[in-house]
């Protein structure tokens, strides 16, 4: 007990109709580890995260979260147990304020602590505090990403899944996002990250998994891959 993986996937396949988007993926993530998935467009990275959070229906194979099978478990029940997914494209509520968006992230948290948590979330990203009454749809792309993360953190993540948090953002904003990721790693949050930028991925994770055409093609310690220049050949074909 206590040493079991936070997440374990065994021969996981995921389908959209007849299309197999994830094939035979086996992967374990240990407590406190940050694992990053990289790979080309359409590789199945997002589908893998959606399989874990059970937001797509057709998933085969075994997925265990904190030792228990998630088969047939509702996505909201997983959120309540600390499995938090920040989806690709952020998906904030544009016509609600920054503050309201953050509060929504705490729907699974008892009322009394909600206010403290909202404050703590805004401490992480002071920009959000300045803009708390602004409609989320009018935030810049980087601010929207910060908001999506702040909202996710309201759910007290035990396993945090981030799908391309740096997408479309200026380098400065990317650094700010990853500074927060770093703080979370320091606090022992287990993280499963999808990142299109291989360099960022390798620098911000313990282990990196390379996917292509729905399958795992390679995995290893990020530091080793960074040193070996292996990623360039695998991902960019150079
Ligand atoms: N809702 C869907 N219905 C049908 N096919 C889908 C659906 N979502 C994804 N796919 C297909 O599944 C495959 C994997 O898609 P996925 O979004 O998981 O890739 P990805 O690795 O996240 O790519 P990207 O880097 O572009 O985000 C693709 O071929 C895609 O077209
Ligand atoms: Mg994707």
pLDDT tens per residue, range 161-212: 999 999 888 888 899 889 989 999 999 999 999 998 888 999 999 999 999 9
Query: Rounded to two decimals, what is the model's pTM?
Result: 0.91
Residues 105-122, mean pLDDT to the nearest whole number: 73
How far lies 236's CA from each of 141, 171, 220, 233, in Å? 27, 21, 17, 6
* Residue of 18, 21, 41 to mutate, ligand 1, most atoms within 8 A of C-beta: 21
Q: How far is the CA of 110 from the centre of ligand 2 (A)?
A: 32
Ligand 1: which of 12, 14, 43 to mutate, most ligand atoms within 8 Å of CB? 43
Provide the residue ranges of all domains of the chain, joining segments of one domain with +.
1-82+157-171+179-238, 86-156
CATH architecture of 1-82+157-171+179-238: 3-Layer(aba) Sandwich (3.40)
Pocket of ligand 1 (CB under 6 A): 16, 19, 21, 39, 41-47, 88, 196
pLDDT digits (tens, 9 = 90+) for 143-161: 899 999 888 888 789 999 9
Rounded to whole angstroms, the Cα distance separating 205 from 14 reads 25
Q: Is the pLDDT of residue 28 over 50?
A: yes
Q: What SS3 state is found at 33? A: coil
DSSP state of 134: S
Which carries the bigger pLDDT value, residue 238 or residue 56? 56
Instruction: Supply the residue whose CA is at minimum distance from atom 6 of ligand 1.
Output: 16
**C-beta of residue 54 within 8 angstroms of C-beta of residue 70:** yes
Q: For residue 82, what pLDDT is reported?
A: 92
The per-residue pLDDT for range 118-136, each reduced to its tens digit, is 888 888 888 899 999 999 9
230 pLDDT band, cuts 50/70/90, is low
| pLDDT number for residue 25 | 98
Ligand nearest to the CA of 43: 1
Protein residue with least CA distance to atom 24, ligand 1: 41
**Pick from 184, 179, 219: nearest CA to 37:** 219
Give the span between the Cα atoms of 191 and 104, in whole angstroms: 22
pLDDT per residue over 56-90, tens digit each? 989 999 999 999 999 999 998 999 899 999 988 77
Nearest CA, atom 9, ligand 1: 47
| 164: nearest Cα among 27, 48, 30 | 48
Whether the per-residue pLDDT at 51 is higher than 50: the answer is yes
pLDDT score, position 238: 43
What is the distance between the alpha carbons of residues 34 and 161, in angstroms, rounded to a whole number? Answer: 10
């Amino acid at each position: 007990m206590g040493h079991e993986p936070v997440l374990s996937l065994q021969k996981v396949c995921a389908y959209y109709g007849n299309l197999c988007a994830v094939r035979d993926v086996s992967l374990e993530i240990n407590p406190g580890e940050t694992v990053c998935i990289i790979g080309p467009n359409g590789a199945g990275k997002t589908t893998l995260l959606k399989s874990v959070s059970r937001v797509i229906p057709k998933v085969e194979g075994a997925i265990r979260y904190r030792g228990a099978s998630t088969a047939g478990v509702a996505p909201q029940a997983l959120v309540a147990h600390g499995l938090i997914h920040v989806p690709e494209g952020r998906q904030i509520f544009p016509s609600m304020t920054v503050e309201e968006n953050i509060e929504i992230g705490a729907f699974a948290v008892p009322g009394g602590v909600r206010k403290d948590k909202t404050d703590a979330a805004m401490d992480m990203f002071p920009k959000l505090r300045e803009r708390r009454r602004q409609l989320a749809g009018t935030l810049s792309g980087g601010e929207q990403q910060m908001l999506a993360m702040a909202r996710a953190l309201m759910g007290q993540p035990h396993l945090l899944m981030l799908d391309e948090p740096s997408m479309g953002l200026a380098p400065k904003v990317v650094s700010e996002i990853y500074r927060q990721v770093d703080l979370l790693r320091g606090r022992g949050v287990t993280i499963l990250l999808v990142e299109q930028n291989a360099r960022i991925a390798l620098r911000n994770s313990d282990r990196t998994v390379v996917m292509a055409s729905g399958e795992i093609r390679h995995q290893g310690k990020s530091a080793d891959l960074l040193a070996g220049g292996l990623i360039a050949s695998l991902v960019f074909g150079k």
